[in-house]
Amino acid sequence: MSFDKLRKQSKLGSLTDRLVKEVEKMNSSSGGADERFWKAELDKTGVGSAVVRFLPAPDGEELPWVKVYSHAFQGPGGWFIENSLTTNGGKDPVSDYNRQLWNSGNDADKDTVRKQKRKLSYYSNVYVVKDPLHPENEGRVFLFKYGKKIFDKVLEAMQPEFDDETPINPFDFWQGANFKLKIVKKDGFWNYDKSEFDKVVPLLDDDDALEALWKKQYSLSAITAPDQFKSYEDLERRLKTVLGQKPAQAPRLDEEVVTEEEPVLTGGGASPTPSASSDEDDALSYFQKLADS
Cα separation of 78 and 186, whole Å? 28
Amino acid type, 169: N
Q: Within 13 Å, how many C-alpha atoms sit on residue 108's CB side?
A: 0
Write phi, then psi, for 280 (nearest 5 degrees). -65, -40
State the average pLDDT for the chain: 83
Residues 139-160 pLDDT 10s: 999 999 999 999 999 999 999 9
Task: Band the pLDDT of 5: cuts 50, 70, 90.
Answer: low
State the pLDDT at residue 83: 97
Burial of 197 (C-beta count, 10 Å sphere; 0-12/13-18/19+): middle
Summarised one tens digit per residue, pLDDT across range 8-67 is: 667 666 666 666 666 555 444 444 578 999 999 999 999 999 999 999 999 999 999 999
pLDDT at residue 276, as a whole number: 39
How far from 41 is each of 44, 89, 136, 193, CA to CA, in Å?
10, 33, 14, 16
Cβ-proximal residues to 103 (8 Å cutoff; 6+ apart), any chain? 290, 291, 293
| Tens-place pLDDT, residues 156-175 | 999 998 988 899 999 999 99
Decide: 54 and 171 in contact? Cβ < 8 Å. yes
- Report, as an integer, the average pLDDT of 115-126: 96
* 258-290 per-position pLDDT tens digit: 444 444 333 333 333 333 344 444 444 444 454
Residue 192, pLDDT > 60, answer yes
DSSP-assigned letter for residue 226? G
> What percentage of the chain exceeds 70 in pLDDT?
73
Across 191-205, average pLDDT: 95
- Give the domains, in start order, of the chain with CATH numbers: 37-292 (3.90.198.10)
Task: Please give the share of the chain, as a percent, with pLDDT higher than 90.
Answer: 67
Residues in contact with 153: Cβ distance below 8 Å, sequence separation at least 6, in sequence order: 179, 192, 195, 196, 197
Identify the band that residue 2 occupies on the pLDDT scale cut at 50, 70 and 90. low
Buried b (16+ CB within 10 A) or exposed e, 53-75: bbbbbbeeeeebbbebbbbbbeb
Sign of CA dihedral 89, 95, 99, 102: negative
> Which helix (H) or strand (E) covers residue 189, if one does?
strand 189-191
For residue 82, with 0-12 CB atoms within 10 Å meaning exposed, 13-18 middle and 19 or more buried, which class applies?
Answer: buried
